[in-house]
Copies of this chain bind each other. A is one copy, B any other.
Amino acid sequence: MTITINDIREAEARIQPYAHRTPVLTNESLNQQVGAQVFLKCENLQKVGAFKFRGACNAVYSLSDEEAARGVCTHSSGNHAAALALAAKMRGIPAYIVMPNNAPAVKKNAVAGYGGRITFCEPTLEARESTLDGIRLDTGANVIHPYNDERVIAGQGTVALELLEDVADLDVIIAPVGGGGLLSGTSIAAAEMKKGIRVIAGEPEMADDAFRSMKAGKIIPSENPKTIADGLLTSLGNLTFPIIQKNVEQIVTVSEAGIIASMKFIWERAKIIIEPSSAVAIGALWEKKINLSGIKIGVIISGGNVDLGKLPWQ
């Protein structure tokens, strides 16, 4: 199946009653700092504090009533889990969530708060998948993968759709890349909405599997990465990678210091709370490894879920 702009438009209509249309903010200090005109699409202000609600919501409301009755399940390091739990709660169906036992407390509490039924496991892909498989066999719940799922990718594509509806003449869109759901959806929407628009990704240097996958021409899995950007630890999927390969110009890696500096700058100047994974997209501008000066850049602020008791500049 190929995901098209029509799937993204359908997703937009499907999630519209449930999701926020998030604002696009500008900040003069940021523009001066990076030497370009930046438009921040604020998915940190989305429900559950992350763009992930869009994909999860689109998936949940794509199910038939019969499918939905069995519930949904997933494994996730956090934001997708909270998003799926809330979307399921809205539809009145159970959400079974497999979480790594090292997920931040704020994310665990969020999932529980939205009524998700959590099973903890070791923080490895193998443990997550086998735990999830057991739950699926027990309950018959529909697996909603955090990113390697057409419905999820189409849902995430609605971010760029809205951004380009609001600011039609962007030259570039920058999004962070983890599993590639947001980036692949963004790239499909962007290519269809504006001829010639460039799509660039930011990725932590310390979790640069997408960067290396693009160079190698095949998926190189992420191996036990250590980065403050805890939403970007996962590897690309067999659905997201080919879309990214086709549509994304390049992946810019960002140092841990660049992520933290970008995050603090946005907190101080733009007065919004962004999580480290979001700061990676700002960091791609911040460290000036590529020349984007003087142009119009849309940056997708992916989420704002941060443990306020554990800030990286304390």
Contact of A268 among B23, B268, B308 (CB under 8 A): B308
Whether B25 and A45, one on each chain, are in contact in the complex, defined by CB atoms closer than 8 angstroms, is: yes
Kindly state the separation between the CA atoms of A313 and B264 in the bound complex, as whole angstroms. 18
Q: Is A106 engaged at the interface, CB distance under 8 Å to the other chain?
A: yes
**Binary flags per residue of A189-210, CB closer than 8 Å to B gives 1, else 0:** 0000000000000000000000
Give every chain B residue within 8 A of A271 (Cβ-Cβ). Answer: 44-45, 49, 272-274, 304
Q: Is A314 engaged at the interface, CB distance under 8 Å to the other chain?
A: yes
Q: Is A47 engaged at the interface, CB distance under 8 Å to the other chain?
A: yes
Kindly state the separation between the CA atoms of A81 and B58 in the bound complex, as whole angstroms. 47
Copies in the complex: 2
Kindly state the separation between the CA atoms of A35 and B121 in the bound complex, as whole angstroms. 37
**Binary flags per residue of A269-309, CB closer than 8 Å to B gives 1, else 0:** 11111100000000000000000000000000000100011
Contact of A267 among B25, B26, B308 (CB under 8 A): B308
Whether A28 contacts B45 in the complex (CB less than 8 A), given A106-B268, A272-B273, A308-B264, comes out as: no
Whether B308 and A313, one on each chain, are in contact in the complex, defined by CB atoms closer than 8 angstroms, is: yes
Give every chain B residue within 8 A of A267 (Cβ-Cβ). Answer: 273, 308
**Binary flags per residue of A230-273, CB closer than 8 Å to B gives 1, else 0:** 00000000000000000000000000000000001001111111
Q: Is A216 engaged at the interface, CB distance under 8 Å to the other chain?
A: no
Kindly state the separation between the CA atoms of A137 and B80 in the bound complex, as whole angstroms. 62
Kindly state the separation between the CA atoms of A267 and B273 in the bound complex, as whole angstroms. 7
Q: Is A311 engaged at the interface, CB distance under 8 Å to the other chain?
A: yes
Q: How distant is A40 from chain B, measured CB to nearest CB, in Å?
A: 10
Whether B304 and A313, one on each chain, are in contact in the complex, defined by CB atoms closer than 8 angstroms, is: no
Whether A28 and B49, one on each chain, are in contact in the complex, defined by CB atoms closer than 8 angstroms, is: no
Give every chain B residue within 8 A of A314 (Cβ-Cβ). Answer: 309, 314
Kindly state the separation between the CA atoms of A20 and B28 in the bound complex, as whole angstroms. 11
Kindly state the separation between the CA atoms of A269 and B25 in the bound complex, as whole angstroms. 19
Give every chain B residue within 8 A of A273 (Cβ-Cβ). Answer: 267, 271-273
**Binary flags per residue of A23-38, CB closer than 8 Å to B gives 1, else 0:** 1011010000000000
A residues sitting closer than 8 Å to B (CB atoms) are 20, 23, 25-26, 28, 44-45, 47, 49, 106, 264, 267-274, 304, 308-309, 311, 313-314
Given A28-B47, A49-B271; 14 other pairs, CB 8 A cutoff: A20-B26, A45-B271, A45-B272, A264-B308, A268-B308, A271-B272, A271-B273, A272-B272, A272-B273, A308-B311, A308-B313, A309-B313, A309-B314, A314-B314
Nearest 8 Cβ contacts at the A-B interface: A271-B304, A23-B23, A271-B273, A44-B271, A49-B271, A272-B272, A45-B271, A267-B273
